[in-house]
Structure 1
Amino acid sequence: MSSLLTTLYFSCLKANSIAVACRQKPELLALLTQEKKDGEKNEKFDHDFKTLADVLIQEVVRYEISKLSPDLGKNIYGEETNTFTNNLNQTVQLIINDDTENTRNLLEAVINGEKSVANILAEEAHKPFQVPQNINQQLEAVCNKDFVDLTKFGVWIDPIDGTSQYIKGIEKLDENGYPLKGLKVATVLIGVYDRETGQPVMGVVGTPFTEDPDKQIILATCISSTFILPQSIQSPQERSKPKIVIGSSESPEILKKLETEFQIIQAGGAGHKIMMVVHGVVDLYFNSTPSVFYWDTCGPHAILKALGGDILTFQGFQEIVYNDAKDKSEAAHTNGIVAFRDTKILDLFKSKVAATEKVWI
């Protein structure tokens, strides 16, 4: 098991680095944040640069996992396809291998001869990294005793969750300085699930722009001996009024009922909101609409389960599995989601939601 966890950690290191580079290198930032009219594509790129950045991260992660297990590499799913059509009507499939020049050539073909941009991205994709020694030691000490069959697993990945926050970068913090909007909301989400049972089994979440080194990469497994890294995640805070985080499109009717028992705040990024539950910043996150996807939840879900929490459907509060969709067209949580660490908070939430005129459960 330690080899897979190490690979996930290493992949997240690389993903974080690419996400930061695309946001901080002037040549790439100019492409990422340029103004576009609705429906207007970049004159140079058939696909906008945000999509290319997403796909590059996704394919780097695929490459690293495939080196460990080709079978697992064939069962990686996400929001993005790795096939592009450039302005010459050429189809280019972005497949990463150990050849930097090959990556550079593929990227240059995708972005129509922009050599300088292709060169920067290729260098980022192949930049050498090492998992810190103390992390390796923790992984080996906890996980070497557990054998897992990698051919049983699949992976859901969201290369950059909270894309609008990632691009706009307009920061908003809560009263304790915890990010609600902006770059620190952007996350890299990688989740491993059992293809037979559909259960999440491992998760890694990267927060590339956080200033807290202990929160840049959170890794967990809930197979047999539960493991969480770093091991400094605290228990949920005691509050006189539990706190719920939501997005921007919940029913006023539901919110009115919940406000009698809960504090309600808004934040960006589905993955970030689940991690707010993980870190005990809030007690519960729910989304009643089908606007959250398997790639948003699989990784954070595994971390929550390792902590004793869970994610259920909003309608009916049923178990969520990840093996009943094979592509993005089937991967929406059509019945919404509820993420929590404490079942007492969930029970209180259920009682208030059930009191709305619409029958949700």
Structure 2
Amino acid sequence: MSPMGIRLSPLGLGLFCMLGVGVIYHLYAGVISNHIAAFRQRRTVDLRDLLAVSVEAALLGGTEVKKVRDENSLNEKSKGKTKEGANELLTTGDLQSHRKMFNLISNTFPEVTVNSEEHDNTLDKAAAWSRKIPADILEKVEGGRDVPAESVTVWIDPLDATQEYTENLVKFVTTMVCVAVDGKPVIGVIHVPFTGFTAWAFVGQGSNMRARSSYSVSTPKAIVSRSHSGKVKSFVHDAFGNSTTIIEAGGAGYKVLSLLEVPSSETIPMDQADVYIHVTFIKKWDICAGAALLSALGGHMTTLKGEDIDYSGTALNKGGLVASVGVDHKALVKKLPEWDPENH
């Protein structure tokens, strides 16, 4: 061997190569991992597809709700009480609707956050979107409305107005889906299972609903909750006077529809109101779909102080709400008295 020469045995050469590969792996593993994470974050969702899936999910959930009620197999039980002491009920209709709706949306868009009123671990990997887009959506909404998946939050209410559902007051019952992008409601679907009617809207794109031609805010008809009312009647009278007509109704979805013009082709037993007011705590799956419908038609749903509601993060809205369309919403809010959420 020459004084300057170094010879590696095959074993030594193999160890050297392995060490080299190890060093390279550690150097680049973090880089590769970051690229994969960035790729995943760049995944997008076509909102027209998500609207179509939302409609399909609401219909599937509605079928379960109606079936359970028709068979009188509700098996109702209490989930506990609200802050105001009202029972929060759970029925087989709630659960079966949740399973259909949640699994369909989650399976179709696994990268999207889906929040439902109910929590059930029954998975159905076979639940799949039919790939059908309703004709009225194709007519009014353009495709290619892509947004980053991580900006999307879906809110599901598998059975709105459960209290009324157990009392067989089925006109108040709806199933609802809402899509929020960066916390703002963009897509709203409200399905009425016992009539088969489905209202939908995509903010900035279109809707199958419209606002009525006129509303009154001087002596309005105010629609409020019949089962989670708190001190809403005195609140409404303080705002608009003792002669104000108050309509008590179940379900936030129904109350929003009462502000709108139901298509003449539909036979839906529906109250007509000028303003929707709620003074107790309420969950975002109850109100997000309605907020999207109103927004698409130029209306508003805010807290009682006129603040926008963020539809990302926690489920509870503590600020109450006032909803309107076809009127000066800011002027409406100014009529409302001071409100303390802890005392209503």
* Same fold, TM-score > 0.5, yes or no: yes
The one-letter code of the counterpart of 1:205 is I
For structure 1, the residue ranges without an aligned partner over 5 or more in a row are 40-47, 83-92, 100-125, 170-181, 326-330
Are the structure 2 counterparts of residues 321 and 349 from structure 1 closer, same or farther at C-alpha, using a change threshold of 3 Å?
closer
Identity value in percent: 26
SS in 1 for 2:259: helix
Residue 208 (structure 1) shift: 0.7
Which structure has more strand as a fraction of its residues?
Answer: 2
Runs (4 or more) in structure 1 with deviation over 6 Å come to 36-39
Give the alignment of 1:1-361 within 5 angstroms. 1-25=47-71, 29=72, 31-32=73-74, 50-72=90-112, 75-82=113-120, 93-98=121-126, 135-136=134-135, 138-139=137-138, 142-169=141-168, 182-194=169-181, 197-210=182-195, 216-222=197-203, 225-228=204-207, 230-231=208-209, 233-239=210-216, 241-247=219-225, 248-251=229-232, 253-257=234-238, 258-260=240-242, 262-279=244-261, 281-290=272-281, 292-314=282-304, 316-325=305-314, 331-344=315-328, 347-353=331-337
Residue 357 (structure 1) shift: 12
Task: Report the counterpart of residue 33 of structure 2 in structure 1.
Answer: none
Are the structure 2 counterparts of residues 260 and 81 from structure 1 closer, same or farther at C-alpha, using a change threshold of 3 Å?
same
Q: Is the 8 A contact 1:13 1:129 kept in 2?
A: no
The one-letter code of the counterpart of 2:297 is L
CA RMSD of aligned residues (A): 3.3
Residue 254 (structure 1) shift: 2.2
Are the structure 2 counterparts of residues 278 and 148 from structure 1 closer, same or farther at C-alpha, using a change threshold of 3 Å?
farther
For structure 2, the residue ranges without an aligned partner over 5 or more in a row are 1-46, 81-87, 263-271
Q: Is the 8 A contact 2:54 2:105 kept in 1?
A: yes
* In 2, Cα distance between equivalents of 1:250 and 1:190: 29
Q: Is the 8 A contact 1:203 1:219 kept in 2?
A: yes
* In 2, Cα distance between equivalents of 1:351 and 1:137: 38
The size of the alignment, in residue pairs, is 275
Residue 165 (structure 1) shift: 0.8
SS in 2 for 1:347: helix
The one-letter code of the counterpart of 2:291 is H
Larger radius of gyration: 2
Are the structure 2 counterparts of residues 140 and 348 from structure 1 closer, same or farther at C-alpha, using a change threshold of 3 Å?
closer
* In 2, Cα distance between equivalents of 1:345 and 1:149: 31
SS in 2 for 1:16: helix
Residue 78 (structure 1) shift: 1.9
